[in-house]
Amino acid sequence: MTPAGKTRRRNRTGKLWRRVKRYRFIYLMTLPVLAYFLVFSYYPMALGIYNSFREVKLLGAASFAGLNNYRTIFSSPVYIQAFVNTVAVGSGKFLLQFIWGLLLAVLLNEVHRKAVRSAFQTVSYVPYLLSWSVVGSIWITLLSPSGLVNGLAQLFQGDSYRKIVFMSERSHARAIMIFTGAWKDSGYTAALFLAAIISINPVLYEAASIDGATRLQQIRHILIPSIRPTVKVVVVLGMMGLLRNFDQIFVMANSSILDKVRNLLYLIYNEGIVQFRIGPASAAACVVLLATMAISFTVRHLIRYDQLS
Amino acid sequence: MKKILSVLLAVTLLTGLFAVTSLAEADGGAVRMLVAVTGGKDAEEMALFAQALGEATGLTIEMEKPADYNTTLMQKLSAGESYDLIYLNADMYMNLVQQGALTDLTDFISASEILTNNVPPSEWEDLKVDGRICAGFNKRELHIVVNLNKVMLEAAGIDYKAVEPTLDGYYQTFKALRAANGSPDFYPFNTVLSQNWDLQPWMSAAGLKGGVVADEDGLTYVPYATDAAAPVWEWFKKLYDENLLDPSSFVDGTGDMRNKMNAASRLTAVDVDWAAWVGLHNANAAAGGVSTQDYEIVSLPGCRTPEGAYRLRKGSASLFAVPVNASNVEGAVKVLEYFATQEGGLLLSLGIPGHDYTVDNDGNYTLTEIGASHAMDHGAPVPIYTGFVNPIGLNLGVEEALTYIDYAGIETIIANENDYKSIVGKWAISMVRGEIGIPEGLAAMRSELVAMGICQK
Assess whether pLDDT exceeds 90 at residue B185.
Answer: no
> Which CATH number goes with the domain that contains A120?
1.10.3720.10
The total domain count for chain A is 1
Q: How far is B104 from chain A (nearest CA, A)?
A: 14
B30-34 and A54-55 strand pairing: unpaired
Q: How far is B273 from chain A (nearest CA, A)?
A: 20
CATH level 3 topology of B144-313+406-451: D-Maltodextrin-Binding Protein; domain 2 (3.40.190)
Other Cβ atoms less than 10 A from the Cβ of B330: the count is: 13
Query: A76-80, B246-250, B284-288, B364-368: which range is least confident on average?
Result: B284-288
Among the listed residues B279, B310, B274, the one whose alpha carbon sits nearest the alpha carbon of residue B143: B274
pLDDT score recorded for residue B283? 86
Mean pLDDT of B251-267: 93
Paired residues of A64 in beta bridges: A54
Other Cβ atoms less than 10 A from the Cβ of A77: the count is: 11
Mean pLDDT of A85-110: 94
* CA dist., res. B379 & res. B390, Å (int): 15
Same fold across B2-141+316-384 and B144-313+406-451? yes
Q: What is the identity of the amino acid at A77? A: P
DSSP secondary structure, B94-153, as one string:
HHHHHTT-B---HHHHHH-HHHHHHS-HHHHHHH-BTTB--EEESS---BEEEEEEHHHH
Three-state secondary-structure class, residue B300: strand
Assess whether pLDDT exceeds 90 at residue B372.
Answer: no
Among the listed residues B75, B60, B67, B59, the one whose alpha carbon sits nearest the alpha carbon of residue B41: B67
pLDDT digits (tens, 9 = 90+) for A4-43: 777 887 888 888 888 888 888 998 999 999 999 999 999 9
CA-based max dimension of chain A: 96
Q: Where are the alpha helices (DSSP H) in B350-437?
A: 369-373, 398-402, 417-433
Chain B residues lying within 8 Å of A274, measured CB to CB: 70, 418
Task: Indicate if ipTM > 0.90.
Answer: no
In chain A, beta strands by DSSP E:
54-55, 63-64
Residue with the larger pLDDT of the pair B176 and B315: B176
Mean pLDDT of B195-201: 94
- Which helix (H) or strand (E) segment holds residue B34: the answer is strand B30-34
pLDDT score recorded for residue A308? 59
The C-alpha angle with vertex B167 and arms to B164 and B171, in degrees rounded to 5, equals 80
Query: A95-104, B86-95, B100-109, B259-268: which range is least confident on average?
Result: B86-95
Mean pLDDT of B391-398: 89
B332 CB burial (10 A radius; 0-12, 13-18, 19+): buried
Residue A165 neighbours by CB under 8 Å, 6+ apart: A144, A145, B247, B248, B250, B251
Residue B80: band (very low, low, confident or very high) from pLDDT cuts 50, 70, 90: confident
* CA dist., res. B245 & res. B398, Å (int): 25
Instruction: Say if the Cβ atoms of A275 and B416 lie within 8 Å.
Output: yes
Instruction: Say if the Cβ atoms of B426 and A258 lie within 8 Å.
Output: yes
Would you call B194 an interface residue with chain A, using a CB distance cutoff of 8 Å? Answer: yes
Q: What is the CA radius of gyration of chain B?
A: 24
pLDDT score recorded for residue A274? 83
Q: Are A17 and A255 in contact (CB under 8 A)?
A: no
Instruction: Say if the Cβ atoms of B195 and A167 lie within 8 Å.
Output: no
Three-state secondary-structure class, residue A150: helix
Q: Are B15 and B22 in contact (CB under 8 A)?
A: no
Q: Which residue of A has its CA nearest to B243?
A: A162
pLDDT score recorded for residue B3? 55
Residue A179 neighbours by CB under 8 Å, 6+ apart: A96
Class for the domain spanning B2-141+316-384: alpha beta
pLDDT digits (tens, 9 = 90+) for A188-220: 999 999 999 999 999 999 999 999 999 999 999
Would you call B236 an interface residue with chain A, using a CB distance cutoff of 8 Å? Answer: no
Task: Return the percentage of chain A with pLDDT > 70, whole number.
Answer: 99
Task: Return the percentage of chain B with pLDDT > 70, whole number.
Answer: 94
Would you call B456 an interface residue with chain A, using a CB distance cutoff of 8 Å? Answer: no
Residue B149 neighbours by CB under 8 Å, 6+ apart: B261, B266, B268, B269, B270, B295, B296, B297
Residue B347: band (very low, low, confident or very high) from pLDDT cuts 50, 70, 90: very high
Query: A83-97, A233-247, B18-32: which range is least confident on average?
Result: B18-32
Q: Alpha-carbon dihedral of residues A47, A52, A58, A64, nearest 10 degrees?
A: -100
Average pLDDT score, chain B: 90
Task: Return the percentage of chain A with pLDDT > 90, whole number.
Answer: 68
Assess whether pLDDT exceeds 80 at residue A3.
Answer: no
* CA dist., res. A270 & res. A82, Å (int): 12
Three-state secondary-structure class, residue B255: helix
Mean pLDDT of B110-126: 92
Residue B227 neighbours by CB under 8 Å, 6+ apart: B439, B442
The C-alpha angle with vertex A228 and arms to A226 and A229, in degrees rounded to 5, equals 110
Instruction: Say if the Cβ atoms of A167 and B101 lie within 8 Å.
Output: no
Residue A218 neighbours by CB under 8 Å, 6+ apart: A205, A208, A209
pLDDT score recorded for residue B19? 40
Mean pLDDT of B125-146: 92
Find the domain containing A237 and state its range. 92-260
User: For chain B, what are the domain ranges?
Assistant: 2-141+316-384, 144-313+406-451
Residue B4: band (very low, low, confident or very high) from pLDDT cuts 50, 70, 90: low
Chain B residues lying within 8 Å of A59, measured CB to CB: 77-78, 80, 99-101, 323-325
Query: B140-149, B150-159, B415-424: which range is least confident on average?
Result: B415-424
Assess whether pLDDT exceeds 50 at residue B24.
Answer: no
Q: Which residue of B has its CA nearest to A171?
A: B435
Asked if residue A272 belongs to a domain, the reply is no
Assess whether pLDDT exceeds 80 at residue B27.
Answer: no
Among the listed residues A146, A50, A260, the one whose alpha carbon sits nearest the alpha carbon of residue B246: A146
Q: How far is A266 from chain B (nearest CA, A)?
A: 13
Q: Where are the alpha helices (DSSP H) in B149-225?
A: 150-155, 167-180, 200-203
Assess whether pLDDT exceeds 60 at residue B11.
Answer: no
The C-alpha angle with vertex A109 and arms to A106 and A114, in degrees rounded to 5, equals 150
pLDDT score recorded for residue B22? 40
Residue B250 neighbours by CB under 8 Å, 6+ apart: A165, A167, A168, A254, A256, B193, B194, B429, B432, B433
Mean pLDDT of A172-189: 95
Assess whether pLDDT exceeds 60 at residue B21.
Answer: no
pLDDT score recorded for residue B8? 47
| Residues present in chain B in total | 457
Q: What is the CA radius of gyration of chain A?
A: 26
Chain B residues lying within 8 Å of A275, measured CB to CB: 95, 415-416, 418
Q: Which residue of B has its CA nearest to A271?
A: B416
Query: A54-63, A229-238, A260-269, B62-71: which range is least confident on average?
Result: A54-63
Cα(first)–Cα(last) distance of chain A, in Å? 43
pLDDT score recorded for residue B327? 94
Mean pLDDT of B33-42: 92
Other Cβ atoms less than 10 A from the Cβ of B205: the count is: 24
Chain B residues lying within 8 Å of A140, measured CB to CB: 251
Among the listed residues A236, A247, A291, A238, the one whose alpha carbon sits nearest the alpha carbon of residue A79: A291
pLDDT score recorded for residue A309? 54
Would you call B325 an interface residue with chain A, using a CB distance cutoff of 8 Å? Answer: yes
**Quick one: how far is CA A274 from the chain centroid?**
25
Chain A residues lying within 8 Å of B183, measured CB to CB: none
Select the residue from A79, A163, A255, A271 to test the B interface by mutation, using most B Cβ atoms within 10 A: A255
pLDDT score recorded for residue B9? 45
Q: What is the identity of the amino acid at B318? A: S
Mean pLDDT of A49-54: 94
- Partner-chain residue, chosen from A77, A78, A144, that has the shortest CB–CB distance to B248: A144
* CA dist., res. B257 & res. B199, Å (int): 14
Q: How far is B185 from chain A (nearest CA, A)?
A: 7
Three-state secondary-structure class, residue B87: strand
Paired residues of B221 in beta bridges: B213
Assess whether pLDDT exceeds 90 at residue A244.
Answer: no
Assess whether pLDDT exceeds 60 at residue B351.
Answer: yes
Mean pLDDT of A152-175: 88
Instruction: Say if the Cβ atoms of B77 and A58 lie within 8 Å.
Output: yes
Cα B189 to Cα B154, B210, B228, B310, distances in angstroms: 16, 20, 23, 20
Other Cβ atoms less than 10 A from the Cβ of B440: the count is: 13
pLDDT score recorded for residue A305? 78
Asked if residue A156 belongs to a domain, the reply is yes
pLDDT score recorded for residue B402? 92
Assess whether pLDDT exceeds 70 at residue B29.
Answer: yes
Q: How does B254-284 read in b/e, with b if 16+ C-beta sit within 10 Å?
A: eebbbebbbbeebbbbbbbbbbbbbbbbbbb
* CA dist., res. A45 & res. A61, Å (int): 20
Residue A1: band (very low, low, confident or very high) from pLDDT cuts 50, 70, 90: low
pLDDT digits (tens, 9 = 90+) for B43-76: 999 999 999 999 999 999 999 999 889 889 988 8
In A140-282, beta strands by DSSP E:
none
Q: Are A69 and A53 in contact (CB under 8 A)?
A: yes
